Structure 1
Amino acid sequence: MIQNDSIVALATPSGAGAIAVIRISGEDAITIGHSVFRSIKNKDLTKQKTHTLHLGHIVDDSKTLDEVLVSIFKGPNSYTGENTIEISCHGSTYIQQQIIQLLLRKGCRMADAGEFTLRAFLNGKLDLSQAEAVADLISSDNEASHQIAMQQMRGGFSNEIAKLREELLNFASLIELELDFAEEDVEFADRTQFHELLNRIEFVLKRLIDSFAVGNVIKNGIPVAIVGEPNVGKSTLLNALLNEERAIVSEIAGTTRDTIEDELVIGGIGFRFIDTAGIRETADVVESIGIKKTFEKIEQAQVVVFLFDSSEFKVSGLKLKVELEKIKNQFPLKPLVIIGNKADKLTDVESKNIKAEIPEILLISAKEKLGVDELKNQLLSFVNTGALRNNETIVTNTRHYDSLLKALDEIQKVKFGLETNLSSDLMALDIKEALYQFGMITGQVTNDELLGNIFANFCIGK
């Protein structure tokens, strides 16, 4: 699968800009770059040191295309492990295309999606989990997801897995050795130490598996459904949270006839707020469809915010409690935040009475933006950010999660075999499968289909 041909792609976003960077990687990258570059000091690019910058022009025969800076990175001391040059040109789309087409004529081919990072993996510059973290880093849109991707790209996750795999491999070798001397009935692997190792591996695997629940929501954002009867201020609350007029606000009940979604970063964590159609009995066909979608969105949400008009509590308090019980019974595992809106209209006595009836209530005024910060803090409390603060390894990748589950299953089989004096040859099979799953994470075990699926999701220039 390793290819030595030279590939080229735009490394910066497509479209016009101040500058653009065109990347070439491959055995002949520097030679090809030299063939189209004229240094202002008549330098020969093929004779320059690695990690140097050179000013000059890209020329097509006698035609000058642009004044550029060329960066040289000689393999193996480059991102891909190969000879690499990066051409920083002016950001005109015309200039970009002219230079790329010129390089194609000189012997390059267009890079496939993620091919630069794929080559970095194949050349041993990154393991597979680090390579996947590159894509996560590029797509990170909040502090938490950025922090996790950076830790994984630096090898935090893969180092932990590699250490466990190495220790398990040592014991696997000893057990295999026992099989070679089966007739002599000897034990090379200390069973007590092996049992301690299996307990330690099991503990680490369970911690990593549990971290996926946090990692997944940090990576993809936490969906929060804002529900309640019509005209209680759901759209006003959404606008207050986002600090902009995202949703239409009207005194007419049923104005929001479809769900409205937007994202907000709170304390470095992404939340995806869903303003739903009001829940009520209605003959309006369009509004009925919106209400049906509301319950679908509650099903998809991880947190439910139930909003009601606190100024109407005297009249509708009983009905409100019935609605709350319905949601609690229908979605018992979802965190429920109960909010009394329009609290600016309440007297102190009315506020105390409502809190006595519903102790967990949060009284706010979305219109006046009173209590909105308290709501944000409460939402943040639903996310276990302890592991993030302590810089622990957090799993965000579904493929890694699947392999960890399978590895844990095999480790538990080995433990059971050890405790029941299972024969070494059968234990060896389970150990091999656990090692295989560890290798799937770091890329010590791969196939073309797996790599194709992973790197197909990368951008072209990375």
Structure 2
Amino acid sequence: MFEETIVALATAQGISAIAVIRLSGIDAIAITQKVFQGKNLLDQPSHTIHFGNLKDGDRVIDEVLVSIFKAPNSFTKENSTEISCHGSPVIVKEIIKVLLKHGARLALPGEFTKRAFLHGRFDLAQAEAVADLIHAETDNARQAALNQMRGGFSKEINALREELIHFASLIELELDFGEEDVEFADRDDLKQLIYKIQKYTRGLIDSFDLGNVIKNGVPTVIAGKPNAGKSTLLNTLLNEEKAIVSDIAGTTRDVIEDEIILGGINFRFIDTAGLRETQDTIEAIGVERTRERMKKASLIIYLFDLTQTTLEDIKAEEEHLLSLNIPYIKVGNKVDRADPTLIERLTAENFIFISASEKIYIHELKEKILSYFHVNAVKTGDVMVTNLRHYQNLLQTHESLDRVLEGLDHGITGDIVAMDIRQALHYLGEITGTITTDDLLDNIFSKFCIGK
């Protein structure tokens, strides 16, 4: 596989001032030289840039700059070149076509980073952080990915794993002397190590809820009955006319969504069809989609029209909200037109009162939303779990170590203890890629963009 030289556009698709085309593989420099008119790239030192023409036979495609990276001093630890050309999609297509003609092949999604991992450039957790860094939409997400890419998380995991391997080796050695009743691994020391590992893994496990919010944002459904002001609130939060607003009940028939950043967190606000029984087939589909989105939300903003709502309505709708077991905020809309007596009675019911159309108390609503997600700025060196795969591996590691402790407390034989330790080592090794399968790698790197 690594004998092939791969090529892909490394910058975004579309028209731009410049585009960068990346090649990697044993023949990357030689293939580039075949189509480059300028200095002989094969004779140039690594980490140099050269100006010239990119040609297909006698036809000049573009004036380009070619950067040279010689193995092992490149991202993939292979020979690599990066061709900076003008950002016309036609030019990019022509350059890639001529490179393919001279022996390169199109890269698969994530193949550059996969080669870097397989060549030992970094471990699997760091490789996944590369993708997270590319897709980071907030500064907190960027810093969290950068911290993981720098390897602090991996170093700690590997150090603890090495200590556990030491004990596993001693217990395995005991099994070779089973008839002589010898003990090479001190059980009390082993317990202390397991407590130490579990303390670290528990901290990482507990960090996942926050890490997931930082990485993936918060899907927030705006729900309520027809004409409660859901679309108006979405437009007010986004500060643009995203959703159609009308006095006609049932105007919104499908979900409408957009994202804004509040307090360093990316919130995806989802406007939904009004909840009511309807004979309109299309509207009924929209209502069903609303209910499905509510079940999958991390937060629900439930709007009540204060000019139409009764206390009985509120009680009935809140019973449904409670059954979902999802955090929700009760928002009384149209406060500027509401009966003061109703507002007074609802004040003790943990309501937020707003006027979406007049933009009254919107700041207070945003503060309430943020109160559900306490996020301080992520600093250099902060370690948190943002990846579901890592979270699941850590849970399985923790459970395996629980079984080791239980076995030690009950005097279980060394072969069973060793089996549980090996299980914990397996799950820890999967995090950093010490233990991998082709299916695991294919699944991870297939989610990367082509040029990375």
Q: Give 1:351 deviation, angstroms.
A: 7.7
Q: Secondary structure at the match of 1:223?
A: strand
Corresponding letter in the other structure for 1:353? E
Q: Distance in 1 between matches of 2:57 and 2:427?
A: 54
Deviates more, 1:361-370 or 1:94-103: 94-103
Q: Distance in 2 between matches of 1:94 and 1:389?
A: 42
Q: 1:59 to 1:390 in 2, by over 3 A?
A: closer
Verify the 8 A CA contact 1:134 1:153 in the aligned structure 2. Answer: yes
Q: Distance in 2 between matches of 1:191 and 1:299?
A: 47
Verify the 8 A CA contact 2:143 2:379 in the aligned structure 1. Answer: no
Q: Give 1:290 deviation, angstroms.
A: 2.9
Of the three residues 344, 350, 373, the one matched with 1:353 is 344
Q: Give 1:27 deviation, angstroms.
A: 1.6
Q: Distance in 2 between matches of 1:28 and 1:51?
A: 17
Q: Distance in 2 between matches of 1:159 and 1:144?
A: 22
Identity, % of aligned positions: 52
Partner of 1:159: 155
Partner of 1:400: 390
Corresponding letter in the other structure for 1:108? A
Q: Distance in 1 between matches of 2:62 and 2:278?
A: 65
1:381 aligns to 2:371 (yes or no): yes
TM-score by length of 1: 0.91
Q: Distance in 2 between matches of 1:141 and 1:44?
A: 41
Partner of 1:244: 240
Q: Give 1:379 deviation, angstroms.
A: 1.3
Of the three residues 131, 135, 141, the one matched with 1:135 is 131
1:339 aligns to 2:331 (yes or no): yes
Q: Secondary structure at the match of 2:310?
A: helix
Partner of 1:257: 253
Q: 1:89 to 1:293 in 2, by over 3 A?
A: closer
Verify the 8 A CA contact 1:387 1:393 in the aligned structure 2. Answer: no
Q: 1:190 to 1:370 in 2, by over 3 A?
A: same
Q: Distance in 2 between matches of 1:455 and 1:280?
A: 44
Q: Distance in 2 between matches of 1:329 and 1:59?
A: 67
Q: How does 1:113-132 map to 2 (within 5 A)?
A: 113-132=109-128
Q: 1:203 to 1:390 in 2, by over 3 A?
A: farther
Q: Distance in 1 between matches of 2:371 and 2:414?
A: 48
Q: Deviations over 1:259-306 (max 9, x none)?
A: 322222212212122222223344444433333333222212121212
Q: Distance in 2 between matches of 1:292 and 1:65?
A: 54
Q: How does 1:214-225 map to 2 (within 5 A)?
A: 214-225=210-221
1:308 aligns to 2:298 (yes or no): no
Q: 1:32 to 1:372 in 2, by over 3 A?
A: same
Verify the 8 A CA contact 2:144 2:382 in the aligned structure 1. Answer: no
Q: 1:18 to 1:25 in 2, by over 3 A?
A: same
1:198 aligns to 2:191 (yes or no): no
Structure 1: gaps (5+ residues): none
Q: 1:150 to 1:328 in 2, by over 3 A?
A: same
Q: Give 1:391 deviation, angstroms.
A: 5.5
Q: Deviations over 1:240-271 (max 9, x none)?
A: 11111111111222222333222222122121
Partner of 1:58: 54
1:290 aligns to 2:286 (yes or no): yes
Structure 2: gaps (5+ residues): none
Of the three residues 391, 416, 425, the one matched with 1:435 is 425
Q: 1:57 to 1:157 in 2, by over 3 A?
A: same
Q: Give 1:207 deviation, angstroms.
A: 2.5
Q: Distance in 2 between matches of 1:231 and 1:58?
A: 61
Q: Distance in 2 between matches of 1:46 and 1:27?
A: 12
Corresponding letter in the other structure for 1:57? N
Verify the 8 A CA contact 1:387 1:394 in the aligned structure 2. Answer: no
Corresponding letter in the other structure for 2:8? A
Q: Distance in 2 between matches of 1:183 and 1:177?
A: 12
Q: Give 1:236 deviation, angstroms.
A: 0.8
Q: Distance in 1 between matches of 2:177 and 2:112?
A: 47
Partner of 2:37: 38
Q: Distance in 1 between matches of 2:368 and 2:347?
A: 20
Q: Give 1:127 deviation, angstroms.
A: 0.8
Q: Give 1:434 deviation, angstroms.
A: 1.2
Q: Give 1:122 deviation, angstroms.
A: 0.8
Q: Distance in 1 between matches of 2:160 and 2:290?
A: 46
Corresponding letter in the other structure for 2:372? F
Q: Give 1:114 deviation, angstroms.
A: 1.3
Q: Secondary structure at the match of 1:94?
A: helix
Q: Give 1:218 deviation, angstroms.
A: 3.2
Of the three residues 408, 412, 437, the one matched with 1:422 is 412
Q: Distance in 1 between matches of 2:106 and 2:317?
A: 58
Q: How does 1:88-127 map to 2 (within 5 A)?
A: 88-127=84-123
Q: Distance in 1 between matches of 2:272 and 2:410?
A: 56
Q: Secondary structure at the match of 1:383?
A: coil
Q: Secondary structure at the match of 1:295?
A: helix
Q: 1:103 to 1:162 in 2, by over 3 A?
A: same
1:177 aligns to 2:180 (yes or no): no
Q: Distance in 2 between matches of 1:335 and 1:343?
A: 23
Partner of 2:352: 362
Q: Secondary structure at the match of 2:302?
A: strand
Q: Give 1:86 deviation, angstroms.
A: 0.5
Q: Distance in 2 between matches of 1:94 and 1:325?
A: 57
Of the three residues 315, 321, 328, the one matched with 1:322 is 315
Q: Distance in 1 between matches of 2:49 and 2:197?
A: 47
Q: Distance in 1 between matches of 2:315 and 2:71?
A: 69
Q: Distance in 2 between matches of 1:435 and 1:395?
A: 19
What's the Cα RMSD here? 2.3
Q: Deviations over 1:93-146 (max 9, x none)?
A: 222222222222222222222111111011100211111222222222233332
Q: 1:279 to 1:49 in 2, by over 3 A?
A: same
Q: Distance in 2 between matches of 1:34 and 1:390?
A: 41
Q: Distance in 2 between matches of 1:281 and 1:66?
A: 62
Q: Distance in 1 between matches of 2:56 and 2:307?
A: 75
